[in-house]
Homo-oligomer: A and B are copies of this chain.
């Protein structure tokens, strides 16, 4: 395998662990060989594949949409209200619309919204090294899936194109939808009830439901990804676990705890140390963070 397939990665142990793993599981002569039908790789999204600061992009969308709907709220109110306030905001801004209307609203917002620090469309805040990793895995017969706490419908409006994945491989939190026949024929209406908050121990359940196979590679960045990483590590095959650590205040952000929602990485870093999972040190391991602005 040519190392050139990961040009935005420095020649460090993180890159080497990826190259070694992909080489071993795709080599028919290796005891670690995994048939291509079982090469399943799962990725968290926010903070793992794209920038999640100064706030989750979907939260920025929800705040803008709440204001547009005449029900503005602030980040401070949200933080004071905790998870209940967040769920209320999501319900307000993501419900009582058809799936097609919601899709259109997301695309309209994404077309004009810009990241406050990087001054580029949010889909261009994806991590160039992770795009190269997705591409490398795809070329080696892996099927890559996203399992995120973000909303499935929101993600599918941009993630497919950004990551080169079909919509069925982009899975997140899911609200109920109601089938009805409206003026424009049959449609699905998004409801206020959230069926699955796709985080923590629910990630392995979602993986089981949506894929039905145990992954051999998992990548995450917070304790909400711990169960997904553990579930992957328990596979009978050789596996690779990746933990992205935000160490780069100059080119991106440096933090171990999300300032808005409070999610941290203490447990996942402890597990990484115990089980020798690969910690990706953004400042040390990545030659480039974001792709050139297109």
A170 at the interface (CB under 8 A from B): yes
Residues of B within 8 Å of A37, CB to CB, are 166
Q: Identify which of B166, B185, B205 contacts A177 (C-beta below 8 A).
A: B205
CA distance A209 to B208 in the complex (A): 14
Please name the residue on chain B nearest to A232 by beta carbon: B186
Let me know if B168 and A227 touch, CB within 8 A: no
Q: Does A168 lie within 8 Å of B230, measured CB to CB?
A: no
Chain B residue at minimal CB-CB distance from A179 = B201
Contact between chains at A179 and B167 (CB < 8 Å): no
Q: Is the CB of A201 within 8 A of B178?
A: yes
> Once the chains bind, are A167 and B213 in contact (CB under 8 Å)?
yes
Instruction: Determine the chain B residues whose CB is within 8 A of the CB of A152 once the complex forms.
Output: 209, 212
Task: Select one of B186, B201, B205 contacting A234, CB under 8 A.
Answer: B186
Q: Are A186 and B156 in contact (CB under 8 A)?
A: no
Q: Are A170 and B212 in contact (CB-based, < 8 A)?
A: yes
In the bound complex, CA of A230 to CA of B167 (Å): 22
For the complex, what is the distance from the CA of A210 to the CA of B172, rounded to whole Å?
Answer: 11
Q: Is A181 on the interface with B (CB-CB < 8 A)?
A: yes
Taking a contact as CB atoms under 8 Å apart, the answer to whether A211 and B176 are in contact is no
Least CB distance from A229 to B in Å reads 10
Contact B156 A212 (CB under 8 A): yes
Q: Which of A178-205 contact B (CB under 8 A)?
A: 178-181, 185-188, 195, 201-202, 204-205
Q: How far is the CB of A215 from chain B (nearest CB, A)?
A: 12
Nearest Cβ in chain B — how far from A238, in angstroms? 15
Name A200's closest neighbour in chain B (CB-CB).
Answer: B179
- In angstroms, Cα B212 to Cα A204, docked, is 20
Known contacts A188-B205, A204-B188, A227 near B179 by CB under 8 Å: yes
| A212 CA / B37 CA spacing, docked (Å) | 22
Q: How far is the CA of A242 from the CA of B204 in the complex (A)?
A: 35
Q: Is A99 an interface residue (CB 8 A)?
A: yes
Whether A174 is near chain B, meaning CB under 8 Å from some CB there, is yes
- Chain B residues with CB below 8 A from A180, complex form: 201
Contacts of A208 in B (CB 8 A): 99, 177, 188
Instruction: Please tell me if the beta carbons of A167 and B209 are within 8 angstroms of each other in the complex.
Output: no
CB 8 Å contact bits of A17-48 with B (1 = contact, 0 = none): 00000000000000000000100000000000
In the complex, whether A158 has a CB less than 8 A from a CB of chain B is no
B156 touching A227 by the CB < 8 A rule? no
Q: Which residues of B contact A168 (CB under 8 A)?
A: 168, 210-213
Given A152-B209, A186-B227, A195-B195, 12 additional A-B pairs, CB 8 A? A167-B212, A167-B213, A168-B212, A176-B205, A178-B201, A178-B205, A179-B205, A179-B231, A180-B201, A185-B234, A186-B204, A186-B234
Residue numbers of A with Cβ under 8 A of B are 37, 99, 152, 156, 166-168, 170, 174, 176-181, 185-188, 195, 201-202, 204-205, 208-213, 227, 230-231, 233-234
